[in-house]
Amino acid sequence: MAEIKNYTMNFGPQHPAAHGVLRLILEMDGEVITHADPHVGLLHRATEKLAETKPFNQSIGYMDRLDYVSMMCNEHAYVRAIEKLLGIEAPIRAQYIRTLFDEITRIRNHLMWIGTHGLDLGAMALFLYAFRERELCMDMYEAVSGARMHATYYRPGGVYRDLPEKMPKHKQSQWTKGEDLKQVNEWREGSLLDFIEAFANDFPSKIAEYRTLLEENRIWKQRTVGIGVVSPEQAKAWGFTGPMLRGSGVAWDLRKKQTYAAYDKVDFDVPVGVNGDCYDRYLVRMEEMSQSTRIIKQCVQWLKDNPGPVMADNHKVVPPKREAMKEDMESLIMHFKLFTEGYSVPAGEVYSAVEAPKGEFGVYMISDDSNKPFRVKLRAPGFAHLSAMNDMVKGHMLSDVVAVIGTMDIVFGEIDR
């Protein structure tokens, strides 16, 4: 029998399980990993530098394109940084709307994660199940912002507009006929809040379907239990946040520990793991979807009971209403200047972080009293997680590398920035 020699192997950036343009240089002893070296930078778009060349309010859309599965959560961190420097606060209704859509975004992210993670490990059906519900979350995004992904819905001082009173309906087509159309539009008869409430009431049964597909499947457990084990001490030392940290048993969640928006006014639990392996991180994310559903229901009820403004009454940062622009030349000029020149932000520095679906997403910003940020530095959770790749896969088989990449839930837009 021929002797097995050490060899070096490229994993990615064209690999379907690389979740973007990740390139891993794997040193192997047969099929066992002895060293893994992540190479990043293939998607670098200089987002931080671009944000420093534009007025503050023109970079909100860039945040959507960082972790492009957690759009509004990224916007939230950036907008909160501007609000802290300006010394303004969004109205309470806007805070509840932000909380609502942060959790809708968390569900969207975790649905994408469980679908692709399952696909990576051979669970084909789950991808189709998860995208069925993700489509409904995209409809919620589209209803408030006009875009299914890159919303630019959060603005300094509040949100772009209040929640619509009507939901768009599906029309007759070759795919929807007769009773099918009536069933498809059943949740769309009322407002967006009615639609979200119907989704939140139905979603727990869908989570149970995902669990049935995976947790009773011995192949899924063989691929995840005991793989990529991270102790609580290691997780903290490596700068893990989010489900990667909580999967190792550390109950750290910014929504509880450094609360923001309306999280101090809603009731929810922070799930934590025990063993710190891929399976525990899977369980944490599944339970997070259930907790997000709890928060969504509370926000919907509050928003139905409490109408009010969704933007701060501050003409320095808030554009005039469209009705005013049609009748008043001064309002039209103010609107034009606000979106071309922006506004000056008092000198200072600030760090603003949110509990994004993948972990702590933070924005460090310095203002020099001009209309553009002097410095923008983004703290992406995936970057810290990827740095632990070598330690997590060392001693595992080549096929386990795929499971570890999947459990990190990495998106390269935020890692390369």
What is the per-residue pLDDT for 338?
Answer: 78
77: number of CA atoms within 13 Å, CB side? 32
What is the per-residue pLDDT for 270?
Answer: 94
Distance CA 356, CA 245 (A): 13
What is the per-residue pLDDT for 3?
Answer: 60
320: number of CA atoms within 13 Å, CB side? 16
Distance CA 73, CA 292 (A): 14
Distance CA 78, CA 199 (A): 28
- Those residues whose C-beta lies under 8 Å from the C-beta of residue 345, and which sit 6 or more positions away, are 56, 82, 85, 86, 367, 369, 370, 371, 373
Find residue 375's DSSP bridge partners.
366
Using CB atoms within 10 A of its CB, is residue 43 exposed (0-12), middle (13-18) or buried (19+)?
A: middle
Distance CA 123, CA 115 (A): 8
What is the per-residue pLDDT for 282?
Answer: 94
What is the per-residue pLDDT for 298?
Answer: 95
**pLDDT by 10s per residue, the chain, length 417:** 556 578 898 987 888 888 888 899 999 988 899 999 999 888 888 999 999 999 988 899 899 998 889 999 999 999 999 999 999 999 999 999 999 999 999 999 999 999 999 998 888 889 999 999 999 999 999 999 988 999 889 999 899 999 999 988 888 877 766 667 777 888 888 899 999 999 999 999 999 999 998 888 889 899 999 898 999 999 999 999 999 999 999 999 999 999 999 999 999 999 999 998 999 999 999 999 999 999 999 999 999 999 999 988 888 888 777 777 778 887 777 777 778 888 888 999 999 999 999 999 999 999 998 999 999 999 999 999 999 999 999 999 998 999 999 999 889 889 888
C-beta atoms surrounding 46 within 10 Å: 11
What is the per-residue pLDDT for 137?
Answer: 93
Predicted structure pTM score: 0.92
